[in-house]
Amino acid sequence: MPAMAQTFDVCIRGAGIVGRTLALLLARERMRVALIAPPQRSQGAPRDVRAYALNLGSRAILESLRCWPDDEHATPVTGMDVFGDLDGRVQFDAASQDVDALAWIVDVPALEQRLAEAVRYQPLVEVVREPVDAPLTAVCEGRASSTRTEFGVAFSVTPYSQSAIATRLRCELPHGGIARQWFTPEGILALLPLAGHEVAVVWSLEQSLVPEWLHSDAQSFTTRLQAISQNTLGQLELIADRASWPLQQAVADRWCGAMAHETRHSWVLAGDAAHNVHPLAGQGLNLGLADVQALARILQERDPWRSTGNTRLLRQYERERKAALAPMGLAMDGLQQLFARPEVPVQRLRNWGMKGFERSGPLKSWMARQAMGLL
């Protein structure tokens, strides 16, 4: 409908968690939003088995939109226990950081459903099938964004030779609200607490090993995870399908620009369309939600005569968010590389480093607060 086409302030391409959150944040500030979303998922589509570790910053954003899932689907993490591949070990706990929880493990389908419902009841968000004319196009299409490519934006990808297998387990012993991670030369295993005796699994391992563990029988799979996790949670039972994601570190070289066909109109990238980090610290979506919070704030604070496509504002967003991403990307990449090295001296060094870090009061506390989204 060409008459409607003039009425939007922002067109959002991609209705994942980041795109929907942006739509709701902008609509709350009285901006009119077109959100490109595909038709409803078909009944037979597989359920996303993932559960994300979301920090305090993400919780505040989602709560302010009334989209934070109920307690059954958002489990507080009261401690973290990270094991090296020798005797290295690092522990964090919520009490010593003076918070109720270090993070929450959030069921992905439950969160997606809350956001989809909120979008349905927000009259300033119109769900559309095709791009519409708007002063600003926000690209939230995830890591494989075709619009990013169409706009000629370079995406510098560092592929890891690893994929992550995700699934869920029921465990014999209580997890006690502790998120546990084991670094081994073969990969990194994370068991994240869910409601009751269940945990979400994120197992990042060498690509060549992935088909075997994706398709092995349930018994061999749980026996292997029990061995890596040193039987900490007792007998493990597989209770969901397994799915895998190839891992990469990536960043777009430009996060905003002018539209080729209409130079007064602009585009901007957010979430995984702009950056990917290794899931070992569970920060990808936290960064994406912080992106859209910053973008919505900058657009909301603009002078009334400036359009949402004002490039000065968008560059301010790009600078702010690239600065926040840099330390996180470097830390995740460094840790991943350090634990991927099989040589014995490197193994000793990393475990020695973990023990030093464990004793390093202020540095450890700074890292914890950074990961919690408090800095």
Ligand X SMILES: Cc1cc2nc3c(=O)[nH]c(=O)nc-3n(C[C@H](O)[C@H](O)[C@H](O)COP(=O)(O)OP(=O)(O)OC[C@H]3O[C@@H](n4cnc5c(N)ncnc54)[C@H](O)[C@@H]3O)c2cc1C
Q: Which of 176, 226, 166 is nearest to 75 (CA)?
A: 176
Which of 126, 141, 198, 318 binds ligand X (CB under 6 A)? It is 141
Tell whether residue 53 is a contact of ligand X (CB under 6 A): yes
127: tokens are 């769900």
Which of 78, 226, 283, 308 binds ligand X (CB under 6 A)? It is 283
DSSP for 292-341, written as a single string: HHHHHHHHHTS-TTS-TT-HHHHHHHHHHHHHHHHHHHHHHHHHHHHHH-
How far apart are the C-alpha atoms of 234 and 242, rounded to whole Å?
20
Number of residues that bind ligand X (CB under 6 A): 31
Which of 69, 84, 282, 329 binds ligand X (CB under 6 A)? It is 282
Only segment of 11-19, 154-162, 181-189, 350-358 that touches ligand X (CB under 6 A):
11-19
* Nearest distance in Å: CB 21, ligand X: 8
Tell whether residue 14 is a contact of ligand X (CB under 6 A): yes
Tell whether residue 16 is a contact of ligand X (CB under 6 A): yes
Tell whether residue 137 is a contact of ligand X (CB under 6 A): no
* Nearest distance in Å: CB 239, ligand X: 17
Closer of 105 and 298 to ligand X (Cβ): 105
How far apart are the C-alpha atoms of 188 and 185, rounded to whole Å?
8
Report the DSSP beta bridge partners of residue 276.
250
Question: Binders of ligand X among 93-112, rule CB under 6 A?
Answer: none
Which of 13, 73, 242, 350 binds ligand X (CB under 6 A)? It is 13
The greatest distance separating any two alpha carbons of the chain, rounded to the nearest whole angstrom, comes to 68
Question: Binders of ligand X among 153-172, rule CB under 6 A?
Answer: 164, 166
Q: Which of 63, 76, 69 is nearest to 194 (CA)?
A: 76
Tell whether residue 126 is a contact of ligand X (CB under 6 A): no
Q: Length of the chain in residues, anyone?
A: 375
Q: Which of 241, 238, 201, 203 is nearest to 221 (CA)?
A: 238
Residues that bind ligand X in the complex, under the rule CB under 6 A: 13-19, 36, 50, 52-53, 140-142, 145-147, 164, 166, 202, 245, 271-273, 279, 282-286, 288
